[in-house]
């Protein structure tokens, strides 16, 4: 480490004011602060500071995402080898998934961070860490077969138009990863929904070659129930891609077709535990999303007319992006309500709207993305009313004493 | 039995270097320096020239807006230097101190027999008015304004703060005289806040005041928090605030007829070899208590005051006007810590849970430990801000300088020190106290 420090000190003058590479200062600074804690000391105000900084916060979120990412990768392999009817070892499945997902992660990071670095450079600011999380979220919420160029275009669009035009990390109104997904969803609907996109049937870099078996169907469980002809939930059964029945435990552990991040409820819960224990994610938001969902489902169940309206609440929580959205998307502090009371309302309405979209919109069985984006827009309004109560109460106090 | 208010939000930062409760003697220095920047809101006009002889209690300068507001010399001697900085701003007035202090005689006056006007005049004349501060704006109180109430905080919860019981030892009579004087200055009440741990008779059994007990972590000892819980400041109202140790100095003026700006000062901090308490007047140079008593070989930060709100001083700096504490911590600019974001080092302290917590005391340095960012994490300030105010939204309204919003959100109730803990825990490493200070100053300019 000492040699590295010496090297950094040696090249630093090139990047400082007057140096040849001064136009790359933000980039240099990003790498230096990644390697070493900056030794700038306080000039005004408090003389001591908490050890937690923006980097630490983002790293914790990434850590919380890792279980879901790993299980998701394994599931990509599992579904693939099921589809081509081959029985292979655990590690082979995982490795196949890793190879399939890694290029997407690389593309999302290279494009997103590239734009962030360039803009920080132009604004002569430090590079903010926000995209470290968005960059890993994006591959986790898109279908595994999304072409890389689409991810690149959508990421660029989201980073520029959903974040940087508003002023960068901390100022955006909508969740960047969800805007990426929404962009893909509305631009390339055929690649984002339906039966063909959730399971990778082709080989990855020559690995896992094979023909798809007869009777294969790649529909997600939510897709199945949204399009079913069954009259009620009791006449309906979820099935896997080879037609095998799906149990609740398959849904809980994540052995179903779906986006990489959303399939394993267990891994998401593990992430939730990390976020709550470290205080990085708000348990109030998470809990209230589930409460909102519960209330909505119970309401819909009470006057159910078809299978999806009859579907019990635990299926809603286990399937699709409900849990993933509640834990990792709704809790994004920048786009969420910022007051504590506001978080209860914000989360509750996300759960409510998500279920409403799922149940009443058969063309689009996944409601979480739109519900969160919708509530992102309303978060400032919710905060406005929470804060207004405080303002009124202060004004009243002043009026009484006069 | 005093009314008790429990403060739940806040933070006790476990720092190394608490002062040992031993009085290590009196410190004097050849030169004494008074820095006008300590007296916020005051525009100093000199009352002396270089080579003038002064006695303790005679004015060194006065306020341009209130010429009756004098600022006393803490020692007798000869004015040797008036140091000016940019735009001829006075940095300090230096007095070469006599070996024994000659006091200007103001005459002993029993407080009970004085009118409010006489008391105010005595304090102004004696150059002690700066001890009275006001809300809104957290500046030296405007003597012409009528305060709704006066609030005195009788304990200090800041990190490494001196024990109030100890520093006020023996000043029971002065305290009571001070409270009696303050009680005459307002048509409202004098509120004294103490912690459950305070046993000092001059505080616990003080007469002529309304005593409230505050139980909880820092910032429970901040007068702003106490006001917010007892009787918040509304738009158009003015209240005055003091520390108990400053009340004793005012009481001393009436009891003894002299200006004695002696404070009992705690020498604290992780880099101090032998901590303890020293008696000294304000403006005393501190190099004699630092010499040979601090860690050698690393760069150090000397602070007059506590690590949250204190002022950075040099190794030969002086005790600032309002401080009962001097702190020495590592500067940290010579430290290069690798991969801080991944660190599990027990040396790193965080109020949140992103680091493992150890039940120990920490040696923290002056590094920011991160780069400045936009406000990202929510509910971070609220956790250490026990007032009925939304701190984050107030900060944002100050940055935007939206006067209506600032008023609505409670700007008149706060002082920069109330945001010190927010600034400490802030993930975005923003200079919140400076933001609040600037906002208050601009607002005062607009409103007055």
**Confidence label for B76 from pLDDT (cuts 50, 70 and 90):** very high
- Structure ipTM: 0.92
Neighbours of B281 (CB within 10 A): 23
pLDDT at residue B307, rounded to an integer: 95
Give the DSSP H/E element, type plus range, for residue A229: none
Using the Cβ of A53 and the Cβ atoms of chain B, whether some distance falls under 8 Å is answered with yes
List pLDDT tens digits, range B180-237: 999 999 999 999 999 999 999 999 999 999 999 999 999 999 999 999 999 999 988 9
Q: Which residue of A has its CA nearest to B427?
A: A53
pLDDT at residue A9, rounded to an integer: 85
pLDDT at residue A402, rounded to an integer: 58
pLDDT at residue A223, rounded to an integer: 86
Structural domain includes residue A202: no
**Confidence label for B312 from pLDDT (cuts 50, 70 and 90):** very high
Rg (CA), chain B: 21
Domain shared by A241 and A357, yes or no: yes
Percent of all residues in chain B with a pLDDT value above 90, rounded to a whole number: 91
Distance (Å, whole) CA A266 – CA A311: 21
Distance (Å, whole) CA B50 – CA B95: 9
B29: helix, strand or coil: coil
Distance (Å, whole) CA B18 – CA B301: 16
Using the Cβ of A50 and the Cβ atoms of chain B, whether some distance falls under 8 Å is answered with yes
B410 vs A394: CB contact, 8 Å cut-off?
yes
Tokens 């077969």 sit at which residue?
A145
Angle ∠(B417,B418,B424) on CA atoms, nearest 5: 80
Measured between beta carbons, the chain B residues lying within 8 angstroms of A60 are 354
pLDDT at residue B224, rounded to an integer: 95
Domain boundaries, chain B: 382-447
Give how far A107 is from chain B: nearest CA, Å: 24
Give how far A84 is from chain B: nearest CA, Å: 41
Using the Cβ of A379 and the Cβ atoms of chain B, whether some distance falls under 8 Å is answered with no
Closest alpha carbon to B393 in A352, B407, A347: B407
> How many domains does chain A fold into?
2
**Confidence label for B357 from pLDDT (cuts 50, 70 and 90):** confident
pLDDT at residue A401, rounded to an integer: 67
Domain shared by A237 and A366, yes or no: yes
Residue B1 has pLDDT above 70, yes or no: no
Distance (Å, whole) CA B364 – CA A7: 27
Domain shared by A187 and A231, yes or no: no
Domain shared by A235 and A380, yes or no: yes
Give how far B78 is from chain A: nearest CA, Å: 33
User: Which residues form the domain of A299?
Assistant: 227-384
Structure tokens at B226: 């106490």
Neighbours of B80 (CB within 10 A): 17
Tokens 């741990």 sit at which residue?
B197
Interstrand relation of B325-330 and B262-268 (parallel, antiparallel or unpaired): parallel
Using the Cβ of A302 and the Cβ atoms of chain B, whether some distance falls under 8 Å is answered with no
SS3 content of chain B, % helix, strand, coil (to 5): 25, 25, 50
**Confidence label for B148 from pLDDT (cuts 50, 70 and 90):** very high
Domain shared by A368 and A284, yes or no: yes
Residue A362 has pLDDT above 70, yes or no: no
Distance (Å, whole) CA A65 – CA A86: 29
B234 vs A397: CB contact, 8 Å cut-off?
yes
Residue A14 has pLDDT above 90, yes or no: no
Residue A193 has pLDDT above 90, yes or no: no
pLDDT at residue A195, rounded to an integer: 78
Q: Provide the mean pLDDT of chain B.
A: 93
B369 vs A33: CB contact, 8 Å cut-off?
no
Residue B39 has pLDDT above 80, yes or no: yes
Q: Measure Cα distances from A37 to A5, B339, B357 in Å.
A: 11, 7, 20
Structural domain includes residue A200: no
Residue A225 has pLDDT above 70, yes or no: yes
Backbone angles phi, psi at B333, to 5 degrees: -75, -5
Measured between beta carbons, the chain A residues lying within 8 angstroms of B428 are 54, 170
B97: helix, strand or coil: strand
Measured between beta carbons, the chain B residues lying within 8 angstroms of A57 are 354, 376-377, 427
pLDDT at residue B409, rounded to an integer: 95
**Confidence label for A191 from pLDDT (cuts 50, 70 and 90):** confident
Boundary-marking domain end, from A167, A192, A217: A192
Query: Half-sphere exposure of A253 toward its Cβ, with a 13 Å CA cutoff?
Result: 8
Measured between beta carbons, the chain A residues lying within 8 angstroms of B341 are 34, 53, 55-56, 59
Q: Provide the mean pLDDT of chain A.
A: 91
B234: helix, strand or coil: coil
Structural domain includes residue A218: no
Tokens 């360039």 sit at which residue?
A118
Residue B92 has pLDDT above 90, yes or no: yes
Q: Are A24 and A15 contacting, i.e. CB atoms less than 8 angstroms apart?
A: yes
Using the Cβ of A13 and the Cβ atoms of chain B, whether some distance falls under 8 Å is answered with no
Measured between beta carbons, the chain A residues lying within 8 angstroms of B307 are 46-48
Interface test with A, best of B320, B326, B337, B378 (most A CBs within 10 A): B378
pLDDT at residue B44, rounded to an integer: 95
Using the Cβ of A282 and the Cβ atoms of chain B, whether some distance falls under 8 Å is answered with yes
Give how far A259 is from chain B: nearest CA, Å: 28
Give how far A231 is from chain B: nearest CA, Å: 46
Scan residues 193-252 of A and list those with Cβ closer than 8 Å to B. Answer: none
Closest alpha carbon to A54 in A42, A67, A38, A71: A38
Boundary-marking domain end, from A192, A213, A239: A192
Helices (H), ranges, A303-365: 307-310, 313-318, 322-324, 340-360
pLDDT at residue A205, rounded to an integer: 85
List pLDDT tens digits, range B245-291: 999 999 999 999 999 999 999 999 999 999 999 999 999 999 999 99
List pLDDT tens digits, range A74-101: 999 999 999 998 899 999 999 999 999 9
Residue B142 has pLDDT above 90, yes or no: yes
B307 vs A48: CB contact, 8 Å cut-off?
yes
Measured between beta carbons, the chain B residues lying within 8 angstroms of A278 are 352-354
Q: Are A79 and A246 contacting, i.e. CB atoms less than 8 angstroms apart?
A: no
Domain shared by A315 and A187, yes or no: no
Average the pLDDT over B419-424 and give the result.
96
**Confidence label for A212 from pLDDT (cuts 50, 70 and 90):** confident
Domain shared by A67 and A117, yes or no: yes
Scan residues 113-132 of A and list those with Cβ closer than 8 Å to B. Answer: 126, 128-130
Structural domain includes residue A219: no
Minimal Cβ distance to A41: which of B333, B337, B427: B333
Domain shared by A91 and A187, yes or no: yes
Domain shared by A240 and A298, yes or no: yes
């Amino acid at each position: 480490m000492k040699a590295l420090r010496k090297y950094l000190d040696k090249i630093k003058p090139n990047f400082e004011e007057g140096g040849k590479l001064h136009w790359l200062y933000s980039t240099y600074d990003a790498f230096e602060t990644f390697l070493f804690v900056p030794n700038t000391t306080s000039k005004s105000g408090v003389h001591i500071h908490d050890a937690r900084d923006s980097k630490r916060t983002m790293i914790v979120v990434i850590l919380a995402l890792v279980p879901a990412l790993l299980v998701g990768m394994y599931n990509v392999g599992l579904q693939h080898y099921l589809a081509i009817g081959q029985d292979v070892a655990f590690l082979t499945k995982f490795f196949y998934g890793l190879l399939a997902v890694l290029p997407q992660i690389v593309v999302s990071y290279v494009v997103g961070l590239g734009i962030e670095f360039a803009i920080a450079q132009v604004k002569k600011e430090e590079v903010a860490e926000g995209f470290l999380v968005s960059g890993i979220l994006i591959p986790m919420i898109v279908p595994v077969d999304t072409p890389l160029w689409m991810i690149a275009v959508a990421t660029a669009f989201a980073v520029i138009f959903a974040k940087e035009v508003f002023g960068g990390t901390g100022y955006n109104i909508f969740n960047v990863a969800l805007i990426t997904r929404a962009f893909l969803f509305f631009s390339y609907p055929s690649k984002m929904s339906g039966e063909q996109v959730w399971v990778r049937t082709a080989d990855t870099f020559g690995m896992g070659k094979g023909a798809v078996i007869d009777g294969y169907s790649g529909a997600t469980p939510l897709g199945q129930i949204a399009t079913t002809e069954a009259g009620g939930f009791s006449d309906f059964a979820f099935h896997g891609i080879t037609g095998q029945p799906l149990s609740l435990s398959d849904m809980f552990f994540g052995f179903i077709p779906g986006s990489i991040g959303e399939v394993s409820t267990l891994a998401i819960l593990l992430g939730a535990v990390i976020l709550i224990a470290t205080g990085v994610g708000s348990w109030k938001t998470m809990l209230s999303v589930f409460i909102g969902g519960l209330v909505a489902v119970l309401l819909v169940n009470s006057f159910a007319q078809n299978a999806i309206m009859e579907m019990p609440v635990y299926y809603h929580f286990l399937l699709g992006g409900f849990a993933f959205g509640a834990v990792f998307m709704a809790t994004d502090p920048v786009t969420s309500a910022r007051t504590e009371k506001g978080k209860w309302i914000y989360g509750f309405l996300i759960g409510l709207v998500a279920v409403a979209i799922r149940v009443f919109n058969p063309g689009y069985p996944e409601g979480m993305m739109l519900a969160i984006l919708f509530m992102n827009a309303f978060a400032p309004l919710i905060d406005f009313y929470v804060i207004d109560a405080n303002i009124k109460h202060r004004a009243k106090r002043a009026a009484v004493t006069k | 039995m005093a009314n008790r208010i429990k403060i739940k939000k806040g933070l006790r930062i476990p720092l190394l270097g608490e002062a040992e409760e031993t009085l290590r003697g009196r410190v004097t220095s050849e030169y004494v320096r008074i820095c006008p920047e300590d007296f916020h809101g005051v525009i100093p006009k000199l009352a002396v020239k270089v080579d003038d002889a002064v006695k303790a209690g005679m004015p060194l300068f006065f306020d341009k807006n209130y010429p009756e507001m004098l600022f006393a010399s803490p020692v007798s001697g000869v004015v040797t230097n008036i140091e000016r900085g940019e735009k001829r701003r006075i940095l300090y007035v230096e007095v070469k101190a006599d070996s024994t202090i000659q006091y200007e005689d103001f005459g002993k006056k029993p407080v009970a027999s004085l009118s409010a006007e006489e008391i105010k005049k005595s304090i102004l004349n004696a150059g002690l008015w700066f001890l009275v501060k006001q809300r809104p704006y957290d500046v030296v109180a405007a003597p012409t304004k009528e305060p709704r109430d006066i609030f005195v905080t009788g304990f200090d919860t800041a990190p490494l703060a001196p024990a109030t019981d100890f520093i006020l030892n023996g000043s029971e009579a002065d305290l009571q005289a001070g409270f009696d004087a303050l009680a005459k200055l307002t048509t409202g009440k004098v509120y004294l806040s103490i912690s459950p741990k305070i046993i000092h008779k001059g505080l616990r059994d003080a007469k002529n005041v309304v005593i409230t007990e505050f139980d909880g972590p820092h910032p429970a000892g901040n007068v702003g928090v106490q006001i917010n819980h007892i009787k918040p400041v509304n738009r158009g109202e003015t209240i005055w605030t003091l520390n108990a140790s400053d009340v004793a100095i005012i009481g001393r003026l009436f009891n003894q007829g002299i200006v004695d700006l002696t404070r009992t000062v705690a020498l604290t901090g992780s880099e101090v070899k032998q901590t303890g308490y020293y008696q000294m007047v304000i403006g005393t140079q501190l190099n004699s208590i630092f010499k040979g008593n601090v860690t050698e070989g690393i760069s150090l930060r000397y602070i007059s005051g506590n690590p949250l709100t204190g002022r950075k001083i040099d190794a030969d700096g002086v005790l600032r006007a309002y401080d009962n504490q001097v702190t020495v911590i590592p500067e940290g600019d010579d430290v290069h810590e690798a991969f801080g974001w991944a660190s599990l080092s027990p040396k790193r302290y965080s109020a949140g849970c992103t680091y493992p917590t150890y039940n120990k005391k920490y040696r923290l340095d002056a590094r920011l430990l991160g780069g400045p960012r936009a406000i990202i994490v929510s509910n971070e300030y609220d956790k250490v801000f026990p007032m009925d105010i939304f701190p984050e939204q107030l900060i944002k309204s100050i940055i935007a300088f939206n006067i209506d919003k600032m008023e609505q959100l409670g700007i008149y109730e706060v002082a920069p020190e109330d945001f010190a803990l927010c600034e400490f825990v802030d993930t975005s490493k923003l200079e919140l106290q400076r933001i609040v200070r600037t906002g208050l100053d601009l607002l005062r300019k607009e409103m007055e």
